[in-house]
Chains A and B, each alone.
Chain A
Amino acid sequence: AQSVTQPDIHITVSEGASLELRCNYSYGATPYLFWYVQSPGQGLQLLLKYFSGDTLVQGIKGFEAEFKRSQSSFNLRKPSVHWSDAAEYFCAVVPGGSQGNLIFGKGTKLSVKP
């Protein structure tokens, strides 16, 4: 079945450490790819998106993500995590590229240790 998979339900990292959140998709064509962040009690906010071109995309708050076609992955990274980054992170895809609706992964909850 076609899907968006975030294998890690919960990740804890120390403040200042690097972060990588994984996202895999199982759609045939290259989809549009997104990462959203949800702070407690809030709606989702777009961090970054990939449609085409350079496979390394920069987003807000110091985040970046790399599209790897061979691995059907779009992992989110940050070199140094801040306590304010504690939130839930959602990978999302539009399977048909320009056609279709956003499909969200189940999310990864990030906790940050002081």
Chain B
Amino acid sequence: DAGVIQSPRHEVTEMGQEVTLRCKPISGHDYLFWYRQTMMRGLELLIYFNNNVPIDDSGMPEDRFSAKMPNASFSTLKIQPSEPRDSAVYFCASSWTANEKLFFGSGTQLSVL
């Protein structure tokens, strides 16, 4: 298996633009997580899905952020409109269970100018 695949690896955009981050989890994993990593706040859980259903989105910072999982092999995290404070590395991870071994993608480095 190729592991968790995220795209793009790097995204540079201007404030106010829409940003869409993509994730393909490992086949067979029932759980998918979106994390944000910054120097100030470390790794923060934004949202996670179980069998394509959002279970906990309490970490989503505000209404500008939305996440979807239309099927078991694809998820998106969208920011609209983007702001400079959204600049961070966004990680997608998947696993067989909610709280055991997570497999992380390589992340998307987002810069909002």
Contacts and interface: CB of A to CB of B under 8 A. Distances in A.
Interface stretch (A17-25, A65-73, A100-108): A100-108
A102 B33 CA distance: 10
A98 interface: yes
Contact of B99 (A41, A94, A104): A94
B100 A49 contact: yes
Contact of A43 (B42, B93, B98, B101): B93
B42 A46 contact: no
Contact of A101 (B4, B48, B91, B103): B48
A42 interface: yes
B4 to A, nearest CB: 7
Interface string B20-47: 0000000000000000000000110100
A100 B56 CA distance: 10
A74 interface: no
Interface in B80-113: 91, 93, 98-107
B99 A106 contact: no
Nearest to A44: B104
Interface string A91-114: 000100011111111110000000
Nearest to A43: B104
Contacts of B99: 32, 94, 98-102
Contact of B4 (A32, A43, A103): A43
B42 A44 contact: no
Contacts of A107: 42-43
B32 to A, nearest CB: 13
Given A41-B107, A101-B56, A102-B99, 16 more contacts: A41-B106, A42-B104, A42-B106, A43-B4, A43-B91, A44-B43, A44-B91, A44-B93, A49-B100, A94-B99, A99-B99, A101-B48, A101-B99, A102-B45, A103-B45, A105-B42
Interface of A: 32, 36, 41-46, 49, 90, 94, 98-107
26 contacts: A32-B100, A36-B102, A41-B107, A42-B106, A42-B107, A43-B91, A43-B93, A43-B105, A43-B106, A43-B107, A44-B102, A44-B104, A45-B104, A49-B100, A49-B101, A90-B43, A94-B99, A101-B45, A101-B98, A102-B45, A102-B99, A104-B43, A105-B42, A106-B42, A107-B42, A107-B43
